[in-house]
Chain A
Amino acid sequence: MKPVIERHETDILIIGSGGAGLFAALHAQQTAPQGTRITIAVKGLLGKCGCTRMVQGGYNVALGGGDTVERHFMDTIRGGKWLPDQDMAWKLCNLAVERVHELENEIGCFFDRNPDGSVHQKAFAGQTADRTVHKGDLTGIEIISRLMEQVLARPVERLQEHRAIGLIPTRDGSALAGVLFIDMRSGGFRLVRAKAVLMATGGGPTMYRFHTPSGDKSMDGLAMALRVGLCLRDMEMVQFHPTGLLAGDHTRMTGTVLEEGLRGAGGHLLNGAGHRFMFDYDAKGDRATRDVVSRGIYAEMRKSNVSPNGGVFISMAHLGPENVAAKFPGMVKRCADSGFDLAAGRVEVVPTAHYMMGGVVVDVDTRTTLEGLYVAGEDAGGAHGSNRLGGNGVANSTVYGGVAGEVMGRDVASMTLRDPDEAVLDAELARALHPLGQKPALVQPLRTALQDAMWEHVGVMRDEPGMTRGLTRIADIRAELMQTGIDGTNLAFNLTWHDWLNLASLCDISQVITQAGLARENSRGAHFREDFPDQGDLPSSYFTVARRGGEAMAVDREAVKFSIVKPGETILAEGEPETLVAN
């Protein structure tokens, strides 16, 4: 029996309430014609899920004092190892200036100040200027709480705990008609038709044994985009943060970030034998960049020079426990809550999957090839290339979320509601209902199996045999998932059903990551091939593009367009110093 689908209509539909989704709602309201209906649908509670809230370090923006948009742009391109889409990167750096002013002046954020009252900025690794604006080490809470209350106070329709499960195109496939949701609270289905839809579900590589993003993120957006025929770029580029908390595999705390500042402040990484191993891998030792340190730790783990839980230690005690407690109160308290003494003892850490550089191919106005569908934030690929600089993530989601809102607000005037392809609708429905027809079994062991496979074969270091094995394991896990049922007696707030759906999305995207990893035969940024350790020829740099045709998936290479600056060149004025950061 076919379940009832409630039908709902709006003008602008936004999926996700992170930095991208919330900014889109505000800007759409500012540019759309009077009376335009705006709806936000989100998998959790509005503003309380997603990763923007978890931002610690801060927001990159060139605010003068020697720093320029040009310098921010050059750091972004160099950090991305010449793979970023340069027009997107430029727009990111340029608009970040206005966006941070909007956050402070219109949205009501308050960023930390210098003694003279000007905004305080610091430098993350890979930056040549003190550029990162922040609110202590809880920047995301300040940004999202303020955005959330602005959106709550406006006439924006809220569909909370609504999980998008399928993008439904028109019959000819040229445009998007609507989005199919599960109303998680009731377990019912809802089709929301809209003239313009923003997808801002925020990627989130949670298919790794260790990962930082919030529990609601499971690559649903990218999986839906793939199914509707859109291209995904740079999918092999998964950023690992070197210091995730390691507290055992039974606690959700494992994988959560221990701040980068700990190493910056002089923290030591020690292997199982208590040896400071990072100098064996890089002259900068513990202060090397994220990718280098992640690989150093991973190498120690392979040699089994490990801590009791199989990682390494971070030790701060030599800096004076009181100093550490005063400088990193949040981190010290968080560790203490889970039973660790960061200030005076050692805490076990491990590289942890943090950010998805890859995403849907979009233009600088967030448009996709499907009319009516826009993508912004971590779901969109291109701005970061092979590596995202710390602080560019939240800048990206707020900048492009705002852009999407404005563009949709303008486009929507000339758009009408479209009729969905009922066949696709039925197929998506059947997909979601599939587990209800199978014999119930535990889902979690399969999720663990996928996380192990990805960690072991498509993780910090990769090679062809490994990734090939990875593909087989992913396929096996997917096959087993299709045999795994869930108890569907009560679909209301049925988390296990959603665990199943999460895992389905993660399997799809894990396959894409692995195939893209095989397609890139060199090592750039976050992607390190042991069988192709060098970076390859810069002028002929390419990015990968994955697309699904029927059941098969193809990954192609496309040449990077150096539309603003060519490898080896710079747009900084002559005589500009290499770096403005005092060391």
Chain B
Amino acid sequence: MRGHRGHPLWLAYGLHRLSGLALALFLPAHFWVLSMALSSPERLDGFLHWAEAPLVKFAEFGLVFLLAVHAFGGLRLLALELLPWTPGQKTLAAGAVAGAVLVCGVFLLNAV
């Protein structure tokens, strides 16, 4: 029974939730890696070199993508909730996606 979800606003919500969840799950890992700078900088370097590997690169891109998607989606929500409401919700949703894609695009171009 997916039916009632098949519209842009729900998809925007779903994306926001998934990206938020994924970010929250990734965050401890990210922190852990960074704190290696303290205990063993070499290992951190080792990790960062793996960043050259295509798989890790993909993951990295994914993270920035998630962050961008979530941030723009969040901005969309905040605008909707806090500013006096205009009916152009779908435009906002589309704008948020466009913004996220833009950022990711730039990141991707730089990364490769």
Q: Do chains A and B touch in the complex (CB under 8 A)?
A: no
Q: Interface of A with B (CB < 8 Å)?
A: none
